[in-house]
Structure 1
Amino acid sequence: MRNQAFFLPILFLSASLYGQDTTQITIPGSVINFRLVYIPTGQMDVQGSDGQTVSIQLDAFWLAAREVAYDEFSLFQQRQYDSDASDWPAGEYRADAVSRPTPQYLDYTYGMGTSGGFPAVSMTQQAALRYCYWLYQKTGQFYRLPTEAEWAYACRAGQDWAPEELGAYAWYYDNAYDAYHKIGQKAPNPWGLYDMLGNVAEWTLDEYQKDYLAAIGMETSNPWVKPEKRHSRTVMGGSYDSLQKECSCTHRQRSQPRWQARDPQIPKSIWWNTDSPFVGFRIVRPEQQPSAEAVEAFFQEAIRD
């Protein structure tokens, strides 16, 4: 499952460290919850392949402390959990109208584990985004995937990582025994984020571009490389199947059509990558919540069939 790797050197960053605020969210209509960590406003210096350095500014946001678990994602898949339970203050409830993943006809986890704390895997980026939209309808709070810049910024957490320390923080090729593990078993980074490196790689919001700085151009405040087509997207962090050098906060991986190699459908599923059990995701909740109109416009722009 070795995948082509690309690297974006990051010099790094200014922000307050440690003592991060956290909040716990229970998904309405269930007992399933997840925890968000407050990521402060900060600055990140990004160096391109030509040696050029660009300073990127990032607004504060809340980031899931852990990757989305199968237990959370399965609530999205099962319509019977969508009663009238919602935290919308005005009672506007439309979670039951959100499109859902089709049933899996193969074991996309390859027997590595589902319920009980394992990461949700093998979904397309579109499926991850539709989970965010469903969660928005359930809670009245806007959730999405992190941008590539947000992900890298949160991963570094104001410090450089020593490669020899990787085993304390990450499941990767040398210690994972060719399988992902339950989330949160390794040490968190200084901002309290678990499994940012290894275990499963994570979808970001960005369309993949080899030259990241050229792609963002003059957009140095909260940059997002917006999608123009279905493929490809940037995946970050490495996985249980990644070498040590591939598990870093600067590791960029390009999603591939071959991740659907076993899918017999024509056209291929918009929900599942049959051959990427090494990819999952975590979610962001922006500190500044947009209007309902802006949220709808965002998902229209972010999701490309």
Structure 2
Amino acid sequence: MLNHTLRGCCLLALLPLFVSLQPAAAQAPVVIGLSKDKPASGRFVETPQGYMVPYEATIPGTMVTYKMQPIPGGKVKVGSPDSEKGRQPDEGPQFEVAIEPFWIAEHEVSWAEYKVYMSIHDRVKQLYQDKIRTAPADGGEKIVTAPSNLYEPTFTFIKGADPEQPAVTMSHFAARQYTKWLSGISNQFLRLPSEAEWEYACRAGTTTAYSFGNDPKELGDYGWYFANSGEKMNHVAKKKPNPWGLYDMHGNVGEWVLDEYIADGYKAHAGKTLTAAEAIAWPTKLYPRVIKGGGWDSDAEKCRTAARRGSHDDDWRKRDPNFPQSPWWLTEEPALSVGFRPIRPLIAPTTMADKNKFWDADLQDTRDVVKARINEEGRGARLIADETLPGDLKKLEAQK
């Protein structure tokens, strides 16, 4: 009996050693904006992966922040009903789209945010010159292009360049590349929303002409448009948000989405329910691309949730004297009221090829122009945007 007792005591004494020798249980990675516990207050979206919550993130290597709001999955009728006042022919017939959960920027990308991306052009070239990084060859899957320096800044900044104003005049391609750059350095998958996703987020569960109702007289409380803007874009997030906490969905600046603008494109989907992916009109030509949300120069009816317009890139580059003209910048007045805001899907694509469909140039002509501008003129720059880039840029700053 005594021997059994001693043996048991010895085993108990050794138990902590056995436990310490076991491999530690792998901890699930922390996902920004996702909580395993139900929040006690504030907005949240319950999903099988956890509770999506609003969050604020900092652009790595800077003190510039941006805020993201969670959007629940659900269905939306895209377009406007025949009875809606101000309805245009290109807004129908309505069709239904099933949307998966995502986060979306609380307001349009500001100049404070976009100028970080703009500054990469000269800085990465210096990184290569100082041999802190090696310049990547053209054609790699992870390549991002930094936009060229502005040929004539007054074209872009004529309506202001205040850090709290929305950034404007970037091309559709540049907006896509911004989301690739930010995705790479933050290790989060961000992209432009599709037209259906944008409209779903704007509606925020409503079925009225605007997210606040049908009366355009109330628009001044929620957005900057022709009647109250002072003929300029204004600071972001100064009006009332929609029910899902999103600012400036009606006015201030219109917003690029993924889709090609097709005036009668909704007819092909009449009476159908599509997934968000099925509903995307992937571009097949340079323009027109869809712009949603109206702008500081829009009448009230153009700021309705269902309102849409198309870009005209050739006309919007007339004052660019270069050949080929910039793939990153537009110059004409319509583009002075066009910006964008990114989204972050809860479930991201897993392959680089699938991600690049949302990020990279979608036409060979654009790829050729980018190559010519960088290789022949030295305007624009190629880089690998990854989590090491902000640290390398800090090394550069330390050398000054």
Residues 110 and 34 of structure 1, relative CA distance in 2, 3 Å threshold: closer
TM-superposed CA distance for 1:263, in Å, is: 1.5
Find the counterpart in structure 2 of residue 229 from structure 1: 285
TM-superposed CA distance for 1:110, in Å, is: 4.3
Residues 51 and 72 of structure 1, relative CA distance in 2, 3 Å threshold: closer
Total equivalences in the alignment: 280
Find the counterpart in structure 2 of residue 251 from structure 1: 307
TM-superposed CA distance for 1:112, in Å, is: 2.4
TM-superposed CA distance for 1:149, in Å, is: 0.5
- From 259, 264, 271, the counterpart of 2:328: 271
Find the counterpart in structure 2 of residue 213 from structure 1: 266
Q: Which runs of 4+ in 1 moved over 4 A?
A: 47-53, 80-84, 215-219, 300-304
Aligned counterparts, 1:99-138, within 5 A: 99-106=145-152, 107-138=154-185
- From 241, 244, 247, the counterpart of 1:194: 247
Distance 2:123 2:68 in 1: 23
- Larger-gyration structure (1/2): 2
Distance 1:52 1:201 in 2: 23
Distance 2:169 2:261 in 1: 18
TM-superposed CA distance for 1:302, in Å, is: 4.3
Q: Deviations over 1:235-288 (max 9, x none)?
A: 011100001111111110010131112112223210111011110000010110
Q: Which has the higher helix share?
A: 2
Contact 1:216 1:225 in 2 (8 A): no
TM-superposed CA distance for 1:114, in Å, is: 1.6
SS of 2:336's equivalent?
A: coil
Distance 2:281 2:93 in 1: 19
TM-superposed CA distance for 1:62, in Å, is: 0.6
Find the counterpart in structure 2 of residue 29 from structure 1: 61
Find the counterpart in structure 2 of residue 177 from structure 1: 230
Contact 2:240 2:247 in 1 (8 A): yes
Amino acid at match of 1:241: D
Matched, 1:98 2:144: yes
Residues 249 and 81 of structure 1, relative CA distance in 2, 3 Å threshold: farther
Find the counterpart in structure 2 of residue 5 from structure 1: none
Distance 1:174 1:53 in 2: 29
Structure 2, unaligned stretches of length 5 or more? 1-41, 45-52, 81-88, 128-139, 367-400
Distance 2:69 2:149 in 1: 32
Distance 1:137 1:42 in 2: 29
TM-superposed CA distance for 1:52, in Å, is: 4.8
Amino acid at match of 1:75: V
Question: Percent identity, aligned pairs only?
Answer: 36
SS of 2:175's equivalent?
A: helix
SS of 2:155's equivalent?
A: coil
Contact 1:129 1:303 in 2 (8 A): no
TM-superposed CA distance for 1:57, in Å, is: 0.8
Residues 53 and 237 of structure 1, relative CA distance in 2, 3 Å threshold: closer
Amino acid at match of 1:68: V
TM-superposed CA distance for 1:300, in Å, is: 4.3
Further displaced range: 121-130 or 286-295: 286-295
TM-score, structure 2 as length reference:
0.65
Residues 301 and 123 of structure 1, relative CA distance in 2, 3 Å threshold: closer
